[in-house]
Structure 1
């Protein structure tokens, strides 16, 4: 049996479209809104799925197990995104959340697979039939992936566009998708690195933040979070990034209240205590994604709005 190497996923850097003069040197993929996963397929057809954090999430997605047989005995390590689709065929992270965190509950995972089926969207192959492809250019890896013809009931290999970045961005905007990822055709695969050769271009600005505290709401929101105090990880600790007070549904606000209660501590986790009256502190372990307009000169988020909780990310995965 081939011993498959463990490979951390390569990460994209937030940014803008490449210059028009170099447009033909890039491929453009639809940015999926799901859970990143590395798929390890052994020669015997067994499948193992690892999240970006390194956690084994195989049991959470039983419908993906037949992918191994689809490779016909060829061992491989594939990179992709697990998504749940809405009624219009778009990836919907809120739907996927009901599938996440079930690796320790295989019976519940099997029931949820019937209600909210998952899809594994494949976009790279980094090890194939005993050979590492890490140093090969993206264009060559992509061609190898397409030759595998992995399109099944719960997995797919969507097409990419070479050049025409402006058109790709406009089409995803019109379709209500999150954005695109631009990948330089000559780029090697850099495990665990947030590289400039992969650029994610979103239609709204978002950032992954760590919750360090909260302020209780008033009136009917008494006991529930009226605002979250969030920060960003840097070399010496957790830097305060601002207060987020909009963007939740009632159900998510209630869920957050319980998570905050369990994580309560007496000391402020930020490098510098923010001047926020009535603040309550929590262990800096909850990760969320926030939409925002711009940043202040001090790096604070302007007009932030809560987008979603990120249970698939650990605090060290942000940035």
Structure 2
């Protein structure tokens, strides 16, 4: 049995996450993707385990997040980079410091999950992603997408 681990491939360039590099590689031909991988190898940032390789544990989605996190840490204990768990804390001050300090590294924000929350498939998981926001004062003269959540603004 294999583990199913939820996460994201990321590329570090010059001490920052480079989402454009990851997207470029994903949209490239096989030959170009191999060349890009040689220049800028990817890492896999893991944040949850959905299926444990031990058949006695199996599907973990109904388990509380704290239990899934413990299983994730056990599964990755001897693996090391480039596959690694994302940091997690239940300390609000630590989370605030991460939110403020990791922005310079290209981290787009933090995710808050309840320790007792399961991982329900296909539904809103009740998690809150707190993203950094760059704001600009501008006169908007047009937009595309829905009025309440436009995709693009024209100024």
User: How does the TM-score come out when normalised to structure 2?
Assistant: 0.77
Runs of 4+ off more than 6 Å: none
| Residue aligning to 1:204 | 133
**Structure with the higher fraction of residues in helix conformation:** 2
Q: Which residue of 1 aligns with 2:120?
A: 190
Distance 1:141 1:242, change over 3 A: closer
Match 1:231 to one of 135, 145, 155: 145
Is structure 2 residue 17 aligned with structure 1 residue 91? yes
Distance in 2 (CA, whole Å) between partners of 1:110 and 1:190 is: 35
Question: Cα deviation per residue 1:218-254 (whole Å; 9 max; x = unaligned)?
Answer: xxxxxxxxx984214xxxxx978375247xxxxxxxx
Structure 1 unmatched runs, 5+? 1-42, 44-74, 207-226, 233-237, 247-319
Find the counterpart in structure 2 of residue 178 from structure 1: 108
| SS of 1:121 mapped into structure 2 | strand
Distance change in 2, residues 1:144/1:161 (3 Å): same
- Structure 2 residue runs of 5 or longer lacking an equivalent are 136-140
CA distance in 2 between counterparts of 1:228 and 1:190 reads: 38
Partner SS for 1:98: helix
Partner of 2:3: 76
The structure that has the greater radius of gyration is: 1
Please, what TM-score do these two structures have when normalized by structure 1?
0.40
Q: 1:150 to 1:108 in 2, by over 3 A?
A: farther
Q: Of 55, 59, 71, which residue of structure 2 is paired with 1:144?
A: 71
C-alpha spacing 1:193/1:91, structure 2 compared with 1 (3 Å): farther
Distance 2:25 2:40 in 1: 7
Contact 2:25 2:32 in 1 (8 A): no
Q: Is the 8 A contact 2:46 2:86 kept in 1?
A: yes
Shift in Å, 1:86:
2.7
8 Å Cα contact 1:229/1:240 also seen in 2: no
Distance 1:231 1:146, change over 3 A: same
Displacement after TM superposition at 1:201 (Å):
0.8
Q: 1:157 aligns with which of 74, 85, 88?
A: 85
Structure 1 or 2: more strand by fraction: 1
State whether residues 84 and 92 of structure 1, in contact with CA within 8 Å, keep that contact through their aligned partners in structure 2.
yes
In structure 2, how many angstroms separate the alpha carbons of the residues matched to 1:154 and 1:231?
Answer: 38
- The Cα of 1:202 is off from its aligned counterpart by 1.3
